[in-house]
Amino acid sequence: MSEEEVNTGYIELVTECPFCGGVIPDDFECIKCGAELLEEREDEKHRYVCSICRKVIDEDVISCPHCDASFV
């Protein structure tokens, strides 16, 4: 990828699937196992993922360590 081509994305807050540990974005269906989360529970765990590669990342990074997407 040349310097002119910037892979831009954003950091997304998602819910951790209680069944398999995968991630459940806003559409309430787990990306990994397909389970649906129909209601929000107080004890749910949340994680931050890259909007491009969907891998778990820290909330304060400026680029994804997995796919080099920029969050600036």
pLDDT digits (tens, 9 = 90+) for 9-61: 998 888 888 888 888 876 678 888 988 877 666 667 888 999 899 888 999 99
Q: What is the pLDDT of residue 7?
A: 79
Helix count and strand count (H, E) for the chain: 0, 4
Residue 23: helix, strand or coil by DSSP? strand
pTM, to two decimals: 0.63
Q: What is the DSSP string of 26-55?
A: TTSB-TTT--B--S--TT--EEEEETTT--
DSSP 17: P
